[in-house]
Structure 1
Amino acid sequence: MLIGREAERRAIGQLVAGARVGTSGVLLITGEPGIGKTALLDQAAAESAGLRLLRASGTETEHEVPFGGLLQLLRPALGELDRIPSPQRDALAAALALTTTTDPAGRFAVGAATLSLLCRYAEQAPVAVLVDDAQWIDRPSAEALVFAARRLVADPIVLLVAARAGESHPLAEADLPLLRLDGLGLDDARELVGRRATDVAQVHRMVAGNPLALLELTRDPNRLQRVPPGAPIPVPRLLAEAFAAQAHRLSESARIALLVAASDDGELGVVARVCEQFGVDVNALGEAEEAGLVRIVDGRVEFRHPLVRSSVYADAAPAVRRTVHQAIAGVLADHDRRIWHLSEAVLGSDGDVAAGLEAVAGHAVERGAHAVAATALERAARLTDDTSEQGRRLVAAGEAAWFAGLPDRAEELLVDALRRDLSPAVGLRAQELRGDIAVRCGSPGQARDILLAAAASADDLPTRIRLLSDVVNACFHVGDTATAVQVAEDLDAILPDVDVPESRLLGLLASGVARVLAGRGGSDQIRTAVALSRAAGALKLERRHQVWVVVAPLFLRERDAGREVIEQVLRDSRDGVALGLLPAVLFHLARDQATTDRWADAATSYDEGIRLSRETGQTTELAINLAGQAWLSARRGRVADCHAQAAEAITICTEREIRLGLAWSSFALGDLALGCGDPAAAVAPYERLVELLTSGGTLDPDLSPAPELVEVYLRLGRTDDAVSTADIFAGQAASKGLPWSLARAARVRGLVDADEDAFTEALRLHERTPDLFETARTQLVYGSWLRRVRRRVDARVQLRKAVEVFDHLGAPTWADQAAAELNATGETARRREPSSADDLTPQERQVAQLLAAGHSTREAAAKLFLSPKTVEYHLRKVYTKLGVHSRAELADQLTE
């Protein structure tokens, strides 16, 4: 029976009770070794009558077994595997080695499958998921559990995880609800040890109430007396010493058998065969069992506590441990386990074991266990004599670590590899990976420099084009248009010699974008690339380069410019559970939606991009999604949100020199002030943005706040500044020659010159773009001008339209300005009542959109990486907020 812990037991009992009534609960229980984490899990299991129980425990010996923890946990639920979405089913089956595949699953696909399987298993009865010693669960399994834990909302599932405090592992870093265990109180300590010690109070004080320490050290109170007076008590070390002392009292045969069991996973048959090689009878383990160190259950040797295992193993001499590992390897049939043991037995280098470890890594990659592959490849490199081969294996280890979501470790491995004598191809791959890591998780400026050097040494043209396009992407983020243009010239020079459609597409897009940014044309190249993508199938591009195809329509800003490909890439990314790509795609999708009348959808896309950027550790994508959301919040009049989002974006972008994010953040703060009717406050962020663009050589008029600055200057009486700014912008827009910037330039000319023809030209040009907000902005300034020249009737026409569009978009501050102008003409504005759809959270809106579009609940769940019950939970809230009762009514409401 668990002694004490009443508050902790109540907390866990409430979670179990919640699962019984259909709600999810997640809790991470942490504390030092021996503090009672396992006892709490045992108590939870005892209280889970009527729940389906899934249980797993991590062990040091299986820390590098790919998905070993997940297989242990999910084995009872595998009968439901065929009932989850097929891409997830295939990913999980491959991860658990139930099938083979030639298309390795990404780490997030296995996480999504884990969530789906748990939720399917919970459809028949509530489920309790208990994970002990999570610090030793293999990383791929832990990441799958983290993915599921973050998304448990409305399913009858309670997930309890116990792990040592202070240990680094995915579940500890996931910001899960936390329960920290402290020692027992003195009364509970007395009840626990009974009459075992004469001075329980002294022992209790010295070990801070650690239950296991109380039990073990009261058996030998003299051990505590050997600690210097006043010194802190290192409880885990003392426990390890106590367990080692107990092992020392065993016979030599029992100690050998115990060490063999501690060196592997405790399978009794394996222990017996190894013991036979040492001339030891496995029955000697009975001594350890009588001493309370182990118990033998269902053909396995189970240690009383993980500290028993680790203390027995650590107490053995290194040479003895190597001999034991060699012997274990000799009796194992499983190739991968045998190789791991051989690698522990090697002193120095061993080419055969290194080759075996590389094969182990290949098996891990096939199952999507990239973190395990990274460890195997790094160990293989350390066992390799040839420096070139060392480097090749370290590069492969770095790539595996990057794919596992471990950018810091990947960078260390790649830098280490580059100190070796690498072949040109391997060296290029190392630098390409370092560039990809830097642009997503570090500094785009560093990425630019790395990739430029790599491209200069690339011999084959497709590789060089790929690297140069990555340079342009880095320059885009860092705001270095001068370098981008140089790269564009290099691309233009080599593209005529390239006949690979994917390479031509990539080169044309990168060159076109670079030239657009610098104000040197580029639009024709982008149009050619868009046409090529439609004809050749742009989705054959490597996943990370598909974002280029998404970017293209945004640089043209035309109604028919390949915009459908954005949605296609998004669908493919969702179906393939390519979460690593989604933050970038969602940013560009949101930018596209924000230039139409889909502002609420844009906010939802930004929100998901922000959440997934945090989850995948992509700081660059996080910054620009935050900046984009801030810009949209500004136009929606959400002051506090805008300031918070811009502040976080600016902090990240300043630290990492992400000028793109700084630009959008400055634009957001300027638009917020202008929309709120405070032109004086808008000057500083707009002028800061101009300086930012100018210093980087960015002359793309689409990024310029010049039209807004002209309006601000005129309101503040700075006419000369307004005229000069308008003239510069007009030249840039004319040079680009696309309708979006030309329309804004015409509006500026109308303001500065009081030219009605310019306003009408602007409205004509707006018709060729999908941006309703810019159209309404022109209607507002045109209507205001007409009112000032006393043409009230004509003014009302423009101002009515502006009010209607601003209200429709959800831009209340701008609608208020237009309504005030309309009222000044003698007409009261008819304002649109706020839609209840505006009250939906981003996730509720996503669910509503998918279901209104005809997707089933399960299809929507798969696309959003949620459970069907969570989708239903959000749908109920949507129906309540919107006052609808069917999906047909829902679709009507969302399209109003």
Structure 2
Amino acid sequence: MTADTGPALYGREAELAAVSQLLSPLPEPVAAERVVRVAGGPGEGRSALLDRAARDFPGEAHVVGAARRQVPWSGARALFTALAPSGAAACRAARLARGPDGIATALAACLAGRGPVLLCLDDFPLWDAHSRAAFAAHWRAPGARGAARVGWLVASAPGRPLPASDTAPLVRLPRLGRASARALLDDAGGGRAGNAVAERLLDEAAGHPGVLVEAVRRLAPGVLAGTAPLPGTLVDDDVLGAVYGGLLAALPVDGRRLLCVVARACGAPDSSGRASEDPDRTDVGTALARARSLRVPIETLDGLVAAGLLHRHGDALAFPDPFLRRAAAAGHGDRVHDRRDRRPTRDRSGTDRAVASPALTGPPDIPASSALTATSALPSSPAHLSSSALPGSPASPAVPSSSALPGSSALPGRAALPDRHERHRADRLGPPPSVRARSAAARGRALVTRGFAALAGGPVMDAHEAFLQAAKVLRDREPAEAADARFLAMEAAWAAGDVGACLAALDLAPAVPGTERAFADGLRAALTVRPDRARTPLSAVVAVGAVRDEPRLLLRAGSAALVLGDVTAAARLHGRALARARAEQRSSLLPRILEHLAYAELRAGRYARAGHTAGEGLRAARATGQLNSAAHQHAVLALVASVTGEGPSVAEHAERALAIGRPHGLAQAVTLAEWALARAELGSGLAAQAAARLAPLVRPGPYGGHFALRMLAVPCFVEAAVASGRAAEARAATEEYARWAGFGIDRPAPAQLARCRALVAHHGEETSRWFGEALRRHDDGGNDFERARTLFAYGAWLRRRRRPSEARGPLRDALVTFERAAAEGWARQARAELRATGAPGTRPPDPSALAGLTPQQLRIARLVADGATNQEIADRLSLSARTVDHHLRGVYARLQLRSRVELSALVAASGTGTGSGTGTVDPGRGPRAQRAPNTWVQ
């Protein structure tokens, strides 16, 4: 190896020739730029091949790798700066122009008047997203693109797809032949390897240059020479961890865990009990069964297959690389941070870089949630993704590629260990500042990981404390990550319903820039009930989301739209975020996005779509083990079922939400579930029960409902309170609701306020005027179900005022809307009201509805059908008349009946008949069925 020839490159002559041939037309004018892709696994020499190709290129050549700290356009800036002193200005021009024209213009500015240029982009999938998208669009653009005499050599490892042109030729790096591997071994071992040791090394390394060199490096001189006993395995798990750890650690957490499950299932008996003959192959059913038993999501399997890390042949899964299978089975992707594996690697600038661990930086798919405040409500909390430096995000600093390991190129000398005196002095002085800084960052990231675990499936205030501590630890060293931790702390406090903790977490450092600052300012203003100050910054966040396609920005923009009351924009933005998350296979982000999308649909009155979305979100939450998100999904499904009148479904989903929400402190999920139960009771005519359940939810203070949902439940409470005789409470709640509605951030609020005022009005003219105002307001509210509820309340009021002909129109309109929304409970009430007005054609109750009565209620119903009075029934059943009256109210409410005549007809139609042993009735007095009904309806 000399300064002229560069590093030795063993066994890559054919690949170098192929690259040279593909790029050879560059010296002549051509119609389009040349793009050649290079793919090689960890340690197989991609970086060395790029260096050699650049050195051999007859013209100007530049090699540019991924930036250490990824920020938007950092890759493009590094490339253009390497091309010309004016590269920064060219990068700005490309950024402003956007698309392929921007890159073409910048290249033309940097390469004007120069000969052919070869641009080698190493580890291109690890570049920032903005640069990747711009260059990929430039390569795919047809025809000449400005700088025609430019060649591109783009390199990537398996698992990191190349976004270059699909038609660009691909050069793969195979394993070395025996002769080339022996030459590499002699170079790596300095010719000191004994013959027997060399043969074993060549056999176990199987032509993999990185594995071969790493195994040689780890052998003691005596073992390498053959004078000391050899270990059982020369290529052990530590060797494979050093080579493949970077690739595994760069995978998403879900993908890494699933890859480990599949690797450990290889060689095991398949689902039919047959033993596998191939240690690198397993049955799909066996692997997925193990994944489910360990609560590992299986949705990422397709992503692993698409990335080439797994091959699927029918019902079999196979590892194309046996070394990758062994490394994955050993779990090296989760142990890269181990001290013995934290060997610094050297980047092109000569700066030492330590391999970082995802176990310390947190999961890559951070479940974001949406922002709601005291002026709006959602079933989840504010989106916290705020910085490109967020650990694990696509724009976060990438783990260095293990292809940079020695083996196929220059072999660096082995670092000498410090002598005894140096080690003793280091012990006395303590670790150097760089080590202390890394330790602080590691502690902070470990706290973030702990917070994620609690946020996903534990007490949310535990997550709040962990995130706050992480923010304190990271504040000086990693301010961007500290800001993200504070957003996460606010999310946890939001889920717990603690306004003070939310505001404390939003106390961000002044250095937080742009959208993050606007989002924080808007949330702080909304939390302190200052919507006028929240509107401007949150509108800016929505505007950013309208032109960007990054999931974290879309989530934040959708959250801001919900705070502003724009549910249409919120649904659109969360729908785009869902599409992006699916495209990027970020499975652990899906439950939160689906939760927010379902709630946006729910608030817009699209209940069928909300139920479908929440069901999908519940499946995603279960697959990823996010119990707290599952509780929110159950609560949303309970709210949907409370509209559709599916009583058992409401109870089931609400019970499951409460079972998780109460012990984990999820005030949001608990409030939503209780609200759903109350609305179902109100829809079934059980107004007193609904009012009793809703009263604590609308009460202010620490023992009330969630602060962001309290006002949204007030209209329901007012309706139930008026029907159950709690008029004073209803009027007080209406006045508070009026102040909140005045903020103008909830579109249906003015119409619902007018309905509440109609319900609590003292005079008939005032009631009629407020109902008319409510119906006019509903034309702008956009929620057909709430409009139908107003029509129903208005029609019922008209009927009680003995104006049946006027009542039929509103009641018919309400019935049609309820039936269209599948709100069967509300439709039953509307039909009963219509029957009470004498409207022809209304369907009578189904006789099978009697099966829903309790045994005591059924006995009382039969006695009523026999003509008995309440006092006669009380004497017969040894009850008080008041108890009989209470049971009879429940019968009328459950069966949606208005008179004893209807109840007698229903009992007769059911086949149970009268004269069921109910005792005697005075024949002289005749049946009592014609008496006025003793019900709560007048």
Mark the structure with the bigger radius of gyration.
Answer: 2
TM-score, normalised relative to structure 1: 0.49
Choose between structure 1 and 2: higher helix proportion: 1
